């Protein structure tokens, strides 16, 4: 099946009862992301390919990288590729996923598409790409302690870091709240600046989280008195 939208072409090899939800998400909820990256539109329409079979999606992934069981969306070829929701729910990593989380994955991958258009330089910066994608798609990760994060491993071996997306979310949330859109977008446009600053950003975020927890504990102690 093929569906043409203003900025996207959806391809799916099975009938989807939530196709209208996908269309609404792509038509309405991508505008805010474009605005963040100061893009008026994509340079060209993007394909949104939804794989109705996990083996087909695995074969797609293995054309460019090693497949891992938690993978369910990517932009490896410049388009948005997704594993269909009912197939996603068959995996251990995503057995509790819902339509809401599936639609968040679409937005997550759209963030990557936009960042690719601005500056496609991610060597050693996968953590930053995932920081933006998780935050802008509202894939909130709670109770993630940066004290447990090996930042060197996060930078150099992101795919094999437990809670990697959680650490990325916390770091991205800190950057967006502390620096604002303009500064974060400057890092997108000038990744070498980020490479110079990233260790300081990590230490600052870790310190801010520690202070936040101390303040929370103090407040709870006062309330108990």
Q: What is the DSSP string of 2-35?
A: EEE-SSEEEEESS--TTHHHHHHHHHHTTHHHHH
Q: Please give the C-alpha separations between residue 94 and each of 31, 104, 117, in angstroms, as whole numbers.
A: 27, 13, 29
Mean residue pLDDT across the chain? 94
Q: What is the pLDDT of residue 177?
A: 97
Q: What is the pLDDT of residue 223?
A: 57
Domains of the chain by residue range: 1-118, 120-225
Q: What is the pLDDT of residue 216?
A: 64
CA 166 to CA 172: how far, in whole Å?
Answer: 10
pTM of the model: 0.92
pLDDT confidence bin for 218, thresholds 50/70/90: low
Q: Which fold has domain 1-118?
A: Glutaredoxin (3.40.30)
DSSP reduced 3-state for 59: helix
Residue 225 has pLDDT above 70, yes or no: no
CA dihedral 35, 37, 39, 45 (to 10 degrees): -100
Q: What is the pLDDT of residue 213?
A: 75
CA 191 to CA 171: how far, in whole Å?
Answer: 16
pLDDT confidence bin for 224, thresholds 50/70/90: low
pLDDT in tens, 169-179: 999 999 999 99
Across the range 97-101, mean pLDDT stands at 97
Across the range 69-94, mean pLDDT stands at 95
pLDDT in tens, 126-172: 999 999 999 999 999 888 999 999 999 999 999 999 999 999 999 99
Structure tokens at 75: 């932009």
């Amino acid at each position: 099946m093929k569906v043409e939208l203003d900025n996207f072409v959806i391809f799916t090899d099975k009938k989807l009862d939530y196709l209208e939800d996908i269309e609404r998400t792509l038509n309405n909820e991508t505008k805010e992301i474009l605005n963040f990256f100061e893009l008026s539109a994509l340079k060209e329409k993007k394909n949104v390919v939804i794989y109705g079979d996990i083996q087909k999606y695995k074969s797609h992934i293995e054309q460019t990288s090693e497949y891992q069981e938690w993978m369910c969306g990517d932009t490896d070829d410049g388009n948005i590729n997704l594993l269909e929701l009912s197939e996603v729910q068959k995996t251990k990593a995503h057995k509790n996923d819902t339509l809401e989380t599936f639609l968040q994955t679409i937005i997550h991958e759209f963030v990557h598409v936009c960042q690719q258009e601005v500056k496609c330089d991610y060597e050693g910066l996968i953590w930053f790409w995932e920081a933006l994608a998780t935050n802008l798609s509202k894939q909130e990760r709670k109770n993630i302690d940066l004290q447990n994060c090996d930042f060197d491993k996060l930078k150099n071996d992101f795919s094999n870091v437990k809670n990697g997306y959680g650490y990325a979310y916390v770091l991205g949330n800190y950057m967006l709240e502390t620096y604002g859109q303009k500064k974060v977008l400057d890092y997108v446009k000038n990744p070498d600046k980020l490479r110079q600053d990233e260790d300081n950003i990590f230490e600052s975020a870790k310190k801010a989280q520690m202070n936040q927890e101390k303040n929370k504990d103090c407040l709870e102690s006062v309330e108990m008195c």
